[in-house]
Amino acid sequence: MSENQLFIKFENIKDYKKENFFVSTSNLEAFEILNNWPKWIKKFINLYGEKYSGKSHLARIFESKSTCLNISEKNFTEEILIKFKTKQSLIIEDYQNNISENLLYSLINIVEQENKYLLITSEKPINEFNYKLNDLVSRLNNFLYIKLGAPDDELIYALIVKNFSDRQITIDKKLIDYIIKRIDRSYESIFIFISKVDQLSLQKGKPINLEVIKKVLS
């Protein structure tokens, strides 16, 4: 088979194993810090970045290293503080400032007093939300803030391959190169693009080819 005929095919991987996380300059800092637990500089970390940037995958990598409680912001209640007593770490995902300020302040105190660890993921830094409780603002300013940067070429390539393989789609390497040169360089754009390509391909009843790619990019 010649290089022009090369196809890339991956197994359908939907887990969050460490070995399935693609490390690039866009996420290297976050990967190294979370993977270095418990040797953190601070016990409070806010991992932030745009949608589909890999926050959940990184959170699962950290979760696998400690006795950890992982919840979404909407499920955070006073009962969680009780359950947290038996854990080393707590992860709150998709933070949007919908938690009681007093409750969040209490959580931070528990982490500090009982030598625990807290990871909060969000799309923007959590200290940029509006708060009324001054003591909480002061505590949030002491977090370690880690940003997931915009994807570079290597990461875009990996994301395209991963998202197609998650849908059990085999795609020509030349098509991936074509896409990379023309797609909007954001995580969400990549995810939406691949979803549209998949849908259009199914509608036409044809494998993904240059015609389908051009149609979605136009």
User: What are the tens digits of pLDDT across the range 162-190?
Assistant: 888 888 887 889 999 999 999 998 999 99
Q: Which pLDDT tens digits describe the chain residue by residue (218 residues)?
A: 333 333 344 344 455 778 889 999 999 999 999 999 999 999 999 999 999 999 999 999 999 999 999 999 999 999 999 999 999 999 999 999 999 999 999 999 999 999 999 999 999 999 999 999 999 999 999 999 999 999 999 999 999 988 888 888 878 899 999 999 999 989 999 999 999 999 998 888 888 899 999 999 98
Q: Please enumerate in sequence order all residues whose Cβ is within 8 A of that of 125, keeping only pairs 6 or more positions apart, or say none.
A: 46, 48, 145, 147
Domains of the chain: 19-147 (3.40.50.300), 151-217 (1.10.8.60)
The amino acid present at 125, given as its one-letter code, is P
Q: pTM for the full model?
A: 0.87
Identify the burial level of 186 via C-beta atoms within 10 angstroms of its C-beta, where 0-12 means exposed, 13-18 middle and 19 or more buried: middle
How many Å apart are CA 177 and CA 172, to the nearest integer?
Answer: 9
Q: Is the dihedral of CA 6, 180, 48, 70 positive or negative?
A: negative
